[in-house]
Structure 1
Amino acid sequence: MSKDPIRPTDPEARALAKALMSKARHGALAVTEAESGLPFCSRIALARDEDGVMLGFVSGLAQHTRALRANPACCPLIGEPGPRGDPLTHPRLSLQARAVFSETGHEARLSLWLRAHPKARIYAGLPDFRFLRFEPLAAFLNGGFGRAFRLTPGDLRP
């Protein structure tokens, strides 16, 4: 019988996951297409909301937005490879989440968003853009070789 490679979640793992979320400016987003039922992955911009939840600002014309409207289950992948070494040794966080489109608090979120993404001013006023929150259901942290952890929503709170 092989040993479980998932380590018990500890304060260091929680801190690394929170740091990845705080630093994230973009990530990959996995969704399920409504029409085909097939997986689809896209790169989107990210920021952390005032309460620590990951936030996206998406166009209603985008394929991932249409998929999320049909099925809000999704998985943002957060974390970038470092400038050197094997990309698979750098930490990353798979956030299993439910996307919730936000119809309130637009101005406060827009201010936060533009601090993180100043070039977004170009499209921020377009009528098809909406904020969404990636409400965490679970997460998987790969902290580098041999450092894998399962996290709960509580582990990710600031």
Structure 2
Amino acid sequence: MTERRTDPIRPTDEDARGLARGLIDAARHAALGVIDPETGAPMVTRIALVPGPDGVPLSLVSSLSAHTAALAANPACSLLVGEPGPRGDPLTHPRLTLQARAEPADKAALKAHVLGLQPKATLYYDFGDFSLVRFVPVAGHLNGGFGKAYRLSPADLVP
């Protein structure tokens, strides 16, 4: 008897796009995955995050941090957004993994936007070691809850 495997990935639809965009819009922090340039090993850290005016995620990063050096060496990265709810299994709550490319953003031009969404960043926004980074989506992997997996294109991820 031949076992039949079915693809667990659902066709991307407007509900999936809306959920993914909603997770990006609501995110005020994310797990950032980079490759350590010294060891070649993956490294994950938590960063503050806001959606940019164009829907592309933004973060202030310090040149003193290991993840900033890693992004300078290799701008390919990954972000995980989405929080478990207050009850139930955390794996049943929606989350989005973004594969992205880190690019410099105009820190001065986006100051009011970023601080409007992350007011606590006022304390360090103008420090010289901080720069603003855009995480331009390359691909997305949405887990909308049990049995709700989707692959998303860059066009699916930003309005």
Q: For this structure pair, what is the TM-score category when the shorter chain's length is used for normalisation?
A: over 0.9
Distance 1:35 1:110 in 2: 32
Q: TM-score, normalised on structure 2?
A: 0.96
Q: Is 1:29 matched with 2:29?
A: no
Distance 2:90 2:9 in 1: 20
SS in 1 for 2:145: coil
| Cα deviation, residue 106, structure 1 | 2.1
Distance 2:61 2:109 in 1: 16
Match for 1:82: what amino acid? G
For residue 65 of structure 2, the aligned residue among 62, 67, 72 is: 62
Name the larger-Rg structure.
Answer: 2
Counterpart in the other structure of 1:71: 74
Match for 1:3: what amino acid? T
Aligned length: 156
| Cα deviation, residue 101, structure 1 | 1.7
Counterpart in the other structure of 1:138: 139
| Cα deviation, residue 108, structure 1 | 2.9
Counterpart in the other structure of 2:128: 127
| Cα deviation, residue 77, structure 1 | 0.3
Match for 2:33: what amino acid? A
Task: Give the gaps of 5 or more residues in structure 2.
Answer: none
Q: Report % sequence identity.
A: 56
| Cα deviation, residue 107, structure 1 | 2.4
Q: Is 1:149 matched with 2:146?
A: no
| Cα deviation, residue 73, structure 1 | 0.5
SS in 1 for 2:110: helix
Distance 1:65 1:41 in 2: 12
Distance 2:147 2:28 in 1: 26
SS in 2 for 1:107: coil
Query: How large is the Cα RMSD of the aligned pairs?
Result: 0.8
Distance 1:72 1:108 in 2: 22
Counterpart in the other structure of 1:116: 117
For residue 102 of structure 2, the aligned residue among 92, 99, 102 is: 99
Distance 1:34 1:108 in 2: 30
Distance 1:153 1:74 in 2: 14
Q: TM-score, normalised on structure 1?
A: 0.96
